[in-house]
Chains A and B, each alone.
Chain A
Amino acid sequence: MSAAPNPPTSAPAGRRRLAALRRFARSRSAVVGAAGLLLLVAVALLAPLVAPFDPAAQDGEPLLGPSGAHLLGTDQLGRDILSRLIYGARASLIAAAGAAAVGAGIGVPLGLLAGYLGRWVDAVAMRLVDLLLAVPGILLALVMIVVLGPGRFNLILAIGIGAVPEFARLTRVATLGIRDRDFVLAARGMGASTPDTMLRTVLPNVLGPIVIQVVVTASMAVVVEAGLAFLGLGTPPPAPSWGGMLQDARSYLYQSPSYGLFPGLCLVATVFCLDRIGRGLQLAVSGGSQHLGTRVTSGGAV
């Protein structure tokens, strides 16, 4: 027997995570994006503490410009715009996270089954996905909300289902890429059952591109949510939402031009942050495993 081999010594698990983090941080804008999103999440969580006014209280003059009392001014009913923006962030972020979760929750298992089992499962799953793809995402969401009725949960479901095809196809392609690799064959050769092989061996190796797709879907969901709210199909009126505020501001474009500016800026900032995070993740993932494709299809926003 020969001498024990010795790769370089240092703490492995922590270093591994650090390396991924370093690759993420290689993109400056990704760090900016992550910081921005963190700030947004913190503000949304702490809304009752941060917001200067009750978002539903009509205690100011209507359509004021930015001033000392109302930093960003008031809307047509005299409600504080800053407070409404802060509470509105909750709606946007919940829609984003929820839609991504629904999309991944349905799409990933679907793609995994289709890619790994192949044959008729693949055919059925992919025709289902084609069916979804045949309808434009925003139209699909519109129809679903009209049928199910407006409301936060239905909104999330509608956007999430629209995101299923991308997750399913991405997972399927990644699965196909590693299905016949030796380590998957080795797992089967060890006596692993099919579900075990899929969950334990295949899934962790296709997660990279999926994580990126989650972020892309979230940013798409923010925009779609605002779009639906703009059309009056989002959360019902008294609750604040950025899309709804944009719709209100449209009517008072001449009286108070700054009203519509702020919700728009919030949307842009949020989408920018998510986009940059997606970019950073792409770097982090591709550095970890060059062999797996990191193709990500970006959702068509409104």
Chain B
Amino acid sequence: MSGGALDGATRGGTVHSALTPAADRGAGQPVLSLRDLVVEFTTPAGVVRAVDGMSYDVFGGETLSVVGETGSGKSVSVLAALGLLRTPNLRRVSGQALLGGVDLLTLPEVELRRRLGRDVAMIFQDAISALNPVQRVGHQIAEALRVHDRALTAAAARVRVVELLDMVGVPHADARYDQYPHQFSGGMCQRVMIAMAIANRPKVLIADEPTTALDVSVQAQILDLLRVAREETGAGVVLITHDLGVVAETADRVSVTYGGRIVESGEVTQIFTRPRHPYTAALLGALPRLDTAARRLLPIPGQPPDPSELPPGCAFAPRCPISQGRSVCTEQRPEARPGPDGAGVSACHFPDEAAALLTRADSPGDTTASVSGGDAAAGSPVLDVQQAVARFPVRSGVLARPSAWVHAVDGVSLRVPAGRTLGLVGESGCGKTTLARLVLRLVEPTGGRILVDGRDVGAAGRSQLRQIRRSAQMVFQDPYASLNPRLSVGDNVAEPLRLQGLPYAKRRSQVADLFARVGLRTEHADRLPSEFSGGQRQRVAIARALASRPGLLILDEPVSALDVSVQAQVLNLLADLQRESAMAYLFVSHDLAVIRQVADEVAVMYLGRIVESGSVRRVYDDPRHPYTRALLASVPVPDPVGRADRRRVPLGGDVPSPVDPPSGCRFRTRCPIAVAICAEKEPPLRLVAGGHTACHLADETADLTPEAAR
């Protein structure tokens, strides 16, 4: 985003909003308020109460963040309130959804439709599929305008739409008016969605996970834009998210959902510093932090509740650290009560004990997970990647010769010694998954050498490759896709053993051992994967990877499909397993906080190249590459205190196409400090301050902030 107008507006907006956090709301009425909303579905398993008496208010000009894990009812409640829930198994929606004093649930269809898009507008998670692919982008926004204002002429609408596109930071708005959604990147599509949402100056803006599908650098841009949109329209914003970092950066008030209810709500600082519900406190303890050195995470035990069989008492009681043994928690459902100072509302019988959980989480009593072993450099590395290259041809026809090449991985070198973890970070499309697959030759390498335990993967024959694949195992991102759905979980885990020719009885006993190691119950070995939740399936996938006793685990985004509380369980499990068996991990992730939690060494990838690598401390505390710095600055920090003072300089633009990477330094097109030499010469990865950085200016910029460099 090099068009400076919005940049200025964004930064100005940040300061402004920070100065007046919802100061002007006390006077007026809430623009949207939900009262005792109940949503029920009929399923084969019985009636499921997805939303169980949810109430919240949103005032004009403020951002209310509704935060919760998968299945906590946060999205369903809003969809139901707006009458957008149309599944045939919807059983009932009751309660009230007051929009400016009018109950939307009782309105006739026609009336409701007139208000949707005019008074309330929604921004969806997947912007690319929320736009009509066969209609010009400009027309779609114009339609949103004209459907509510019949008097508007086409020409006037066009002028207004171009204005809107300009405002949300779409460059060359007039030209892009006539383009189709597929010509826009994901971030640009989200901008278009926001333009469409604010077109009619709605009173309420509902953003349902607006940045979940986006990369961190783009996420930062969109969050800023949402802030601008709120100020521009004066709307109340409901931001539905699972990401506590996003909440801390943007929200004025927070409502935490669990098991279809709101368990706590309050001002954002109060929620993060003095939570009054144990679930909130536990969530904060389970979150990997970018800003603090690695400590052991405190996972929430157990699984999120099954909405078809909610317990009679507090839904959180079975997992709660402070309810242990107290009968009132399991028998009586706690009502939402405001705190003594009138600040936060908490649905807990013992709200004053919750804050204590936070301090316990911070206490140094827990041993750190990754004890930095002194013998790291000793011995040959388990994985040694030397100048690996992977290119894919782009063909225009079936028989045509490749017209171009996608440089997915372009000369990457890595070493992972036994017992250590190398974290590989990068945005989507940077080639990190391709690199992970190269190691097992699931993708054919185009060049370079990859050695696993000293054996060359690229040159290996059929049987040798099979041996290599036994000693290096992979855990995939999506546990719903990586297990064979037709085999029981026990058989899934036993697959590597079967391939080694182990007899059935031996396989059974080994599977039982593996199940015990990853914390699964042996009795469940005969069940199909579909009967397990995401976290449990990921345990099964890990057990399967461990079956052949590998020396190297390749973890391709192993926790990004999981909820925070479950993610912490899996991360701790991985740390324990590494300590027990001294496996080497290649941990691929886009999540910088997770990488900081698990890794000893970090490599940052951009467009198929490694731009910076080194120890965790070096890369996170003293980043020398402008890309690393921009990434670190883009990650939302789950701490609202001092967010106004934090320098947030979102990286402009999108990642360039890997088909035709920029000349010289690949990052120069988005780099805030690029100079002439960057376009001419490709910077080599060289030793800078104890780590490796591929930047011409790595030495000079050591003490410069990106802003000053501008």
A3 near B469 (CB under 8 angstroms)? Answer: no
Report yes or no: A7 in contact with B527, Cβ–Cβ below 8 A: yes
Does chain A have a CB within 8 A of B473? yes
Residues of chain B from 470 to 517 with CB closer than 8 A to chain A in the complex: 470, 473-474, 476-478, 481-488, 495-496, 499
- State the CA gap A266–B535 with chains docked (Å): 54
Q: Which A residues between 184 and 235 are near B, CB-CB below 8 angstroms?
A: 185-193, 196, 200-201, 204-205, 207
Stretch at the interface among B172-180, B216-224, B295-303, B672-680: B295-303
Least Cβ distance of A64 to chain B in Å? 55
Chain A residue with the shortest CB-CB distance to B306: A8
Asked whether A181 is an interface residue with its Cβ less than 8 Å from the other chain, the reply is yes
Q: How far is the CA of A3 from the CA of B536 in the complex (A)?
A: 11
Chain B residues, CB < 8 A from A16? 528
A contact residues around B466 at 8 Å (CB): 191, 193
* Residue from A2, A5, A183, A201 in contact with B481 in the complex, judged by beta carbons closer than 8 Å: A183
B527 near A187 with CB under 8 A, answer no
What CA separation (Å) do A191 and B471 show in the bound complex?
10
User: Hey, which chain B residues are within 8 Å of A12, CB to CB?
Assistant: 488, 524, 526-528, 531
Q: Does residue A6 face the partner (Cβ distance < 8 Å to B)?
A: yes
Partner of A201, one of B437, B484, B541: B484
Question: Given contacts A186-B474, A186-B476, A189-B474, are A3 and B302 in contact (CB under 8 A)?
Answer: yes
CB proximity of A200 to chain B, nearest CB, Å: 8
What residues on B are CB-neighbors of A204 within 8 Å? 484, 486-487
Closest to A3 in B: B301
B527, A182: Cβ atoms under 8 Å? no
Bound-state CA distance A193–B437 (Å) is: 17
Interface digits, A273-289 against B, CB 8 Å rule (1 contact, 0 not)? Answer: 00000000000000001
> Is the pair B576, A2 in contact by a Cβ cutoff of 8 Å?
no
Q: Is the CB of A189 within 8 A of B442?
A: yes
* Cα distance A191–B545 in the bound complex, in angstroms: 12
Chain B nearest CB, measured from A191 CB (Å)? 4
| CB <8 Å contact, B548 and A190 | yes
- Asked if residues B482 and A182 are in contact (CB atoms below 8 Å), the reply is yes
Interface string of B522-553 (1 = CB under 8 A from A): 00101110011101100101001000100000
- The answer on a CB contact under 8 Å between B520 and A5 is yes
- Cα–Cα, bound, A215→B251 (Å): 58
Q: Is A147 an interface residue (CB 8 A)?
A: no
In the complex, the answer to whether A191 meets B576 with C-beta atoms within 8 Å is no
A13 near B: Cβ within 8 Å?
yes
Task: Encode contact with B along A172-185: 1 for CB under 8 Å, 0 otherwise.
Answer: 00000000011101
Known: A7-B532, A191-B470. A186 touches B521 (CB 8 A): no
Please name the residue on chain A nearest to B569 by beta carbon: A2
Question: Residues of B contacting A57 with CB < 8 Å?
Answer: none
Selected from A4, A8, A196, A291, the residue in CB contact (under 8 A) with B499 is A196
A276 to chain B, nearest CB (A): 22
User: Are the C-beta atoms of A185 and B495 separated by less than 8 Å?
Assistant: no
Whether A134 is near chain B, meaning CB under 8 Å from some CB there, is no
Which residues of chain B have C-beta atoms less than 8 A from A201's C-beta?
A: 484
Q: Could you mark each residue 65-98 of chain A with 1 if its beta carbon is under 8 Å from any beta carbon of chain B, else 0? A: 0000000000000000000000000000000000
Closest chain A CB from B466 CB (angstroms): 4
Give the shortest distance, in Å, between B87 (CB) and chain A (any CB). Answer: 14
Min C-beta distance of A296 to chain B, whole Å: 19
Are A5's CB and B469's CB within 8 A? Answer: no
Question: Do the beta carbons of B526 and A13 come within 8 Å of each other?
Answer: yes
Q: Are B486 and A5 within 8 A (Cβ)? A: no
- Cβ–Cβ contact A190 & B486, under 8 A: no
* Structural contact, A181 and B481, CB atoms closer than 8 A: yes
A131: Cβ under 8 A from any B Cβ: no
| A193 surroundings in chain B (CB, below 8 A) | 466
Tell me whether B368 is interfacial, beta carbon within 8 Å.
no
Decide yes or no whether B440 CB sits under 8 A from chain A.
Answer: yes
Pair B495/A190 contact, Cβ less than 8 Å: yes
Q: Is A1 an interface residue (CB 8 A)?
A: yes
For residue A11, give the distance in angstroms from its CB to the closest CB of chain B. 9
Cβ contact within 8 Å between B473 and A189: yes
Contacts of B533 in A (CB 8 A): 5, 7
- Please state if B573 and A5 are interface contacts (CB–CB under 8 Å): no
Interface footprint category on A: 20 to 34
Q: A1-39 interface mask toward B, CB cutoff 8 Å, 1 = contact, 0 = none?
A: 111111110001100100000000000000000000000
> Shortest beta-carbon distance, A18 to chain B, in Å?
12
A2, chain B: closest CB distance, angstroms:
5
Which residues of the partner chain A approach B476 to less than 8 Å between Cβ atoms?
Answer: 182, 185-186
- With A4-B519, A7-B532 already in contact, the answer to whether A191 and B496 are too (CB < 8 A) is yes
Please provide the chain A residues from 282 to 302 with a CB less than 8 Å away from any CB of chain B in the complex: 289, 291
Q: How far is the CB of A211 from chain B (nearest CB, A)?
A: 13
Q: Is B519 within 8 A of A187, CB to CB?
A: no
Cα-based distance from A289 to B487 in the complex (angstroms): 13
Candidates B440, B442, B474, B519; contact of A5 at CB < 8 Å: B519
A151-B92 Cα distance, complex, nearest whole Å: 63
- Interface assignment of B250: CB less than 8 Å from any CB of chain A: no
Contact yes or no, B521 A6, CB < 8 A: yes
Q: Is the CB of B470 within 8 A of A190?
A: yes
* Complexed CA–CA distance, A28 and B499 (Å): 43
Query: At the interface, yes or no: B2 with Cβ under 8 Å from chain A?
Result: no
B663 within 8 A of A: no
**Which residue, of A2, A185, A207, has the highest number of chain B Cβ atoms within 10 A?**
A2
A187: chain B residues at CB < 8 Å are: 484, 495
Contacts of B524 in A (CB 8 A): 7, 12
B572 close to A (CB within 8 Å): yes
Q: Could you tell me the distance in whole angstroms from the C-beta of B458 to the nearest C-beta in chain A?
A: 16
Question: B520 contacts which of A4, A185, A192 (Cβ < 8 Å)?
Answer: A4
Shortest C-beta distance, B516 to chain A (Å), equals 9
Which residues of B569-596 are within 8 A (CB) of A?
569, 572-573, 576
Contacts of B303 in A (CB 8 A): 5-6
Quick check: is B359 within 8 A (CB to CB) of the other chain? no
Known: A1-B573, A2-B519, A191-B470. A186 touches B299 (CB 8 A): no
CB distance from A175 to the nearest CB of B (A): 14
A52 CA to B442 CA, complexed, in Å: 66
CA distance A6 to B304 in the complex (A): 11
**Interchain CA distance A7-B526 in the complex, whole Å:** 12
**Residues in A neighbouring B535, C-beta threshold 8 A:** 5
A5 CA to B485 CA, complexed, in Å? 19
Please give, as numbers and ranges, the residues of chain A lying within 8 Å of B469 by CB-CB distance.
188-191
The reply on B467 being an interface residue by CB < 8 A is: yes
Report the separation of the CA atoms of residues A228 and B301 in the bound assembly, to the nearest whole angstrom.
68
Measured CB to CB, the closest approach of chain B to A66, in angstroms, equals 48
Closest to A192 in B: B499
* Complex Cα–Cα for A291 and B481 (A): 10
Q: A5-B536, A182-B482, A204-B486 are in contact. Are A190 and B473 (CB under 8 A)?
A: yes
Residues B499 and A191 in contact, CB atoms below 8 Å apart: yes
Q: Does B299 lie within 8 Å of A2, measured CB to CB?
A: yes
Residue of A nearest to B472 (CB): A189
- Residues on the B chain within 8 Å of A190, using CB: 469-470, 473, 495-496, 499, 544, 548
Q: Of residues 609 to 632 in B, which have CB atoms within 8 Å of A's CB atoms?
A: none
Could you tell me the distance in whole angstroms from the C-beta of B488 to the nearest C-beta in chain A? 8
Query: Closest Cβ of chain A: how far from B395's Cβ, in Å?
Result: 14
Task: Determine whether the beta carbon of B473 is less than 8 Å from that of A7.
Answer: no
| CB closest residue in chain B, given A181 | B481
- CB pair B499–A205 under 8 Å, yes or no, is no
Min Cβ gap B215→A in Å is: 21
The 3 closest A-B pairs by CB, nearest first: A182-B482, A191-B469, A191-B466
Given A2-B572, A188-B440, A188-B442, 11 further pairs, Cβ under 8 A: A5-B521, A5-B535, A185-B482, A189-B442, A190-B470, A190-B499, A191-B466, A191-B496, A192-B495, A193-B466, A204-B486
> Which of A's residues lie within 8 Å of B, judged by CB?
1-8, 12-13, 16, 181-183, 185-193, 196, 200-201, 204-205, 207, 289, 291
10 contacts between A and B (CB under 8 A): A2-B519, A5-B519, A12-B526, A13-B488, A186-B482, A186-B541, A188-B442, A189-B469, A191-B469, A196-B499
